[in-house]
Structure 1
């Protein structure tokens, strides 16, 4: 499904059921007409709304990424104090001591 922001998703749902008139998915695609959404996107969005009652993205699984600034600060601290333990560095930066960022190179 093409990534649409919340406003776009709301517009699509409003276009599907505007007033007393119900539009087809193809009509909504034509109305929206910004290189997206495809018919399958409209179908999936409607199914998601009917199943969950909202159109927000659900949280993704997996480890969250370490931000670039945290990574740079971490590397600077390693450079300043190369004898710090990975456990202490993890505590200082609120990271797991087994994180890739904490692995000394």
Structure 2
């Protein structure tokens, strides 16, 4: 991978891009490796947005509230059954 990228009227090194960014945004300084990672991400995906995360999706707040209310109403609820009732993994209940 090249250590120079096009920007504006000419190609700049990742260090130059880092310096320009830090001059324009002193409250949010970055390091050269950040520029390198962003360039690699753009070259791989065509954009720099975060890719979807793998793993269990978050439980919506309203479902969390419903689960807590059921536990409050029946502290001896079985987590496996609650998982079925709320369409969640039983491990998300605990």
Fold similarity call, TM over 0.5 = yes
Task: Indicate the SS of the match to 2:51.
Answer: coil
Aligned equivalent of 2:12 = 23
Matched, 1:52 2:41: no
Which runs of 5 or more residues in structure 1 are unaligned?
Answer: 1-15
Higher relative CO (Cα under 8 Å, sequence separation at least 6) belongs to 1
Q: Which has the higher strand share?
A: 2
CA distance in 2: counterparts of 1:78 and 1:53, whole angstroms: 46
Which runs of 5 or more residues in structure 2 are unaligned?
Answer: none
**Normalised TM-score (structure 2):** 0.66
Count residues in correspondence. 86
By how many angstroms is 1:68 displaced?
A: 5.0
Alignment of 1:1-105 (within 5 A): 16-33=5-22, 34=25, 35-82=28-75, 84-96=77-89, 98-101=90-93, 103=94
By how many angstroms is 1:40 displaced?
A: 0.3
